[in-house]
Amino acid sequence: MKKQKFSIKDIATSLNISKTTVSFILNGKAKEKRISQPLVDKVLKFVEEVGYTPNQFAQSLRTGKTKILGLMVEDISNPFFAQIARNIEDRAYEAGYKIIYCSTENDKEKSKEFLQMFQRLGVDGYIITPTPELEEDIRPLVDSKANLILLDRNLNSLETDYVMVNNAESAYEGTKHLIRNGFRKISFITISSNQTQMTERKRGYEEAMNDHALQPLVHEVSFKKNYTDSVAELKAILNTAPEIDAILFGANYLGVAGLEAISELNMKIPEDLGVVSFDDNDLFRINKPSITAIAQPIEQISETAINRLIDQINSDQQDKNKNGLFLSTTLIPRESSQK
Amino acid sequence: MKKQKFSIKDIATSLNISKTTVSFILNGKAKEKRISQPLVDKVLKFVEEVGYTPNQFAQSLRTGKTKILGLMVEDISNPFFAQIARNIEDRAYEAGYKIIYCSTENDKEKSKEFLQMFQRLGVDGYIITPTPELEEDIRPLVDSKANLILLDRNLNSLETDYVMVNNAESAYEGTKHLIRNGFRKISFITISSNQTQMTERKRGYEEAMNDHALQPLVHEVSFKKNYTDSVAELKAILNTAPEIDAILFGANYLGVAGLEAISELNMKIPEDLGVVSFDDNDLFRINKPSITAIAQPIEQISETAINRLIDQINSDQQDKNKNGLFLSTTLIPRESSQK
DNA sequence: TTTAATTAAAAAATCGATTTAGCAATATAA
DNA sequence: TTATATTGCTAAATCGATTTTTTAATTAAA
């Protein structure tokens, strides 16, 4: 690492004044501390000339603030999270924060390690997509009034801010959309994990089916498998349950893998099988036939989360009443759900 | 931020010894500094009990090492970079490094700011996808022997390590593939930017065309436009140059936007238009017809880059001879290029 | 027996900032 | 004229580590 040329001390000795004075001036406390204007000007000019920048570690050490946020997502290479990361980034830099990211792969142990890492580092705020059962590891943060916001899912027993979409209603609407379009044997495909967003979606689906006197048909794909295995599993599901006439995919990657499975089985969408999937992407939009999607408002999610977090940081009051912020999805009807 | 419960000083006073001794023991210098084994054990036991973790800012301040890497990509929401970020992340954490990321949007000024940010922060290493003309801003880093690696593209006048694929050859092969499959009026679609990887791809394409006595047909899409505008621009190109019988898309997002444009114009692939695109993704694989892709070895790119960077960091010798590391792409023939 | 070397640990300096407490010098009030 | 405020600035403490320099107590060598 390149050594810093100028420290506050160097400036002070160069100008034959004390570093206290320099520090006050640099921190905009000149008025308050009654530093004379000529001296202020002189210091600022000099600082500008030598291109001084404060050592952020010394600052952090002294102030306890790091200007770093910790972003913990399930997988940064998942387009949904990648876009969130991108949007959060913009606003964070605008507000003077840097971002350290990590991907949990929905692994509790990994998540715990990352939490510890963030904590050791002393991040000023946490944006977290929690794995199931992470409550007890996050609780200490909540108890110590850390600035924290959960993303995409929540943990019921924790009093925190969280941002997510109205998953149950969205799934309900998606299911209703299929029913209205004439499908009856509609299956909901989810993953074998207790992530709250997935259980909510399942609940919404089941409610819609029940409300229309239809039998819910839930199928689970194991979580930890790789893509190829997931496709195989989906093919198996379709083979063993030929009565299914439509599918509601509970997530992005399930929809993608599902399309691949359907294609490999030479089934026709929407003739053989109606399809609606959570999340939207290039594939769903451009595919022939195009795929009906329940699109999450990614920008809005990101902005809500980061703005809320920065609010938390700036209001060091404890009057923050924690609550969930629910955003709405948009059902984008496309060819795959038109019988 | 929660205050750290135990500092090295607390441990020292708790055990009635000096913090020097504690520090030596914690840093594995007990032998070297002749600390007695009983004391070593006692300290380690105590440290374990109270769950002490060092303040990383104090450490960084003192040692000048930050254990943070700066990752600067064009756009973290671009699947190509998102996957790279994911792969780099794994290895970085394994080696004890954290990652701060940022997206340049191929904007030189933004890039400069991010470089400064990384520098101020004192990152231990840089992984950078440079915008054109960023040489003079990166040069100081190179001169000061910073640990640095360029990704996806390089800057000719700089002596640095860089990792990229053999773009010219890949484009040559992609073009040859189309020619061999009977296409003649093959257009190369690129963006209006001097990114080295794009100019290399163009060069390879032109060479292939010339070698087969065909006239190169290069079309540029303006860079800064949003997706919808790009699609419109691509439609305009196809409309004004109806003689084109195949397209080689120079990048991921051009291919995606291109497919959308082609679809909107109701052109048939591959009958009306053969298609090959750089990079691979779900859409290209699953689309009907599937799209022939020039796939970059993303894992290999990421691993090479991060491993090389960590090597740089660990070998504080200046014997590092900088050089380019070129990896090979894989042409994945699919339906879109079979006439 | 005195000197030198070794062992074991501690004191103090340092990294680069922020912040509290305080000190002269001047101005104002009593 | 003396007491009190105000002005303008600085010394020193502090954050939590690492590292150089010292010290004190033994042990070995002369």
| Amino acid whose CA is nearest the C1' of D14 | A62
Continuous segment of H or E residues that includes residue B44: helix B37-50
For chain B, list residues with pLDDT below 50. Answer: 1-4
pLDDT score of A167 more than 60: yes
| pLDDT confidence of residue B2 | 38
Q: Do A122 and B283 touch (CB under 8 A)?
A: no
- Nearest Cα of chain A lies from the Cα of B305 at a distance, in angstroms, of 17
Q: What is the mean pLDDT of chain A?
A: 94
- Nearest Cα of chain B lies from the Cα of A82 at a distance, in angstroms, of 5
B277 SS3 class? strand
> Which residue of A lies nearest to B283 if distances are taken between CA atoms?
A283
Q: Which residues of B touch A286 (CB under 8 A)?
A: 256, 259-260, 263, 283, 287
* Nearest nucleotide (C1') to alpha carbon of A34: D8
Cis bond before residue A289 (omega within 30° of 0): yes
Q: Where are the alpha helices (DSSP H) in chain A?
A: 8-15, 19-26, 37-50, 56-63, 79-94, 108-121, 135-143, 167-180, 196-211, 227-240, 252-264, 282-286, 298-314
- Measure, in angstroms, how far nucleotide D28 C1' is from residue B40 CA: 26
- Measure, in angstroms, how far nucleotide D16 C1' is from residue A301 CA: 38
8-state DSSP, B335: G
Distance, in Å, from the CA atom of B161 to the CA atom of B173, rounded to the nearest integer, reads: 26
Buried b (16+ CB within 10 A) or exposed e, B110-127: bbbebbebbbebbbbbbb
- Measure, in angstroms, how far nucleotide D8 C1' is from residue A16 CA: 15
Contact by Cβ (8 Å): B185, B243? yes
- Measure, in angstroms, how far nucleotide D27 C1' is from residue B262 CA: 90
Q: Which residues of B touch A146 (CB under 8 A)?
A: 1-2
- Nearest Cα of chain A lies from the Cα of B78 at a distance, in angstroms, of 8
Place of tokens 């998540």: A111
> Is residue B223 exposed (0-12), middle (13-18) or buried (19+ Cβ within 10 Å)?
middle
User: What does the pLDDT look like over A42-79, one tens digit per residue?
Assistant: 999 999 999 999 999 999 999 999 999 999 999 999 99
pTM score of the predicted model = 0.93
* Beta strands, E only, B108-226: 125-128, 148-151, 161-165, 186-191, 217-221
| Amino acid whose CA is nearest the C1' of D19 | B20
| pLDDT confidence of residue A318 | 58
> Which residue of A lies nearest to B67 if distances are taken between CA atoms?
A121
Mutate to test the interface with A, among B77, B103, B145, B269 (most CBs of A within 10 A): B77
Mean pLDDT over A114-124 rounds to: 95
User: What does the pLDDT look like over A286-331, one tens digit per residue?
Assistant: 998 999 999 999 999 999 999 999 999 998 655 567 789 999 999 9
| pLDDT confidence of residue B263 | 94
Q: pLDDT band at A223, cuts 50/70/90?
A: confident
Q: Which residues of B touch A145 (CB under 8 A)?
A: 2
What is the residue type of A95?
A: A
| pLDDT confidence of residue B319 | 55
- Measure, in angstroms, how far nucleotide D12 C1' is from residue A318 CA: 34
Q: Which residues of B touch A121 (CB under 8 A)?
A: 56, 98
Q: Do A285 and B260 touch (CB under 8 A)?
A: yes
Distance, in Å, from the CA atom of B177 to the CA atom of B174, rounded to the nearest integer, reads: 5
- Measure, in angstroms, how far nucleotide C21 C1' is from residue A21 CA: 15
Contact by Cβ (8 Å): A159, A322? yes
Token pair for B75: 């756009």
* Nearest nucleotide (C1') to alpha carbon of A7: C16
> Is residue B34 exposed (0-12), middle (13-18) or buried (19+ Cβ within 10 Å)?
exposed
Q: Do A288 and B287 touch (CB under 8 A)?
A: yes
| pLDDT confidence of residue A2 | 38
As a whole-number percent, the residues of chain A with pLDDT over 90 amount to 90
| Amino acid whose CA is nearest the C1' of C14 | B62
- Residues lying close to strand D (Cβ under 7 A), chosen from 2-41 of chain B, are 3-4, 6-9, 19-20, 23-24, 26-27
- Nearest Cα of chain A lies from the Cα of B290 at a distance, in angstroms, of 10
User: What does the pLDDT look like over A251-267, one tens digit per residue?
Assistant: 999 999 999 999 999 99
Give every CB contact of residue A69 below 8 A, 6+ residues apart in sequence: A92, A97, A98, A99, A100, A123, A124, A125, A126, A127, A309
| pLDDT confidence of residue A320 | 64
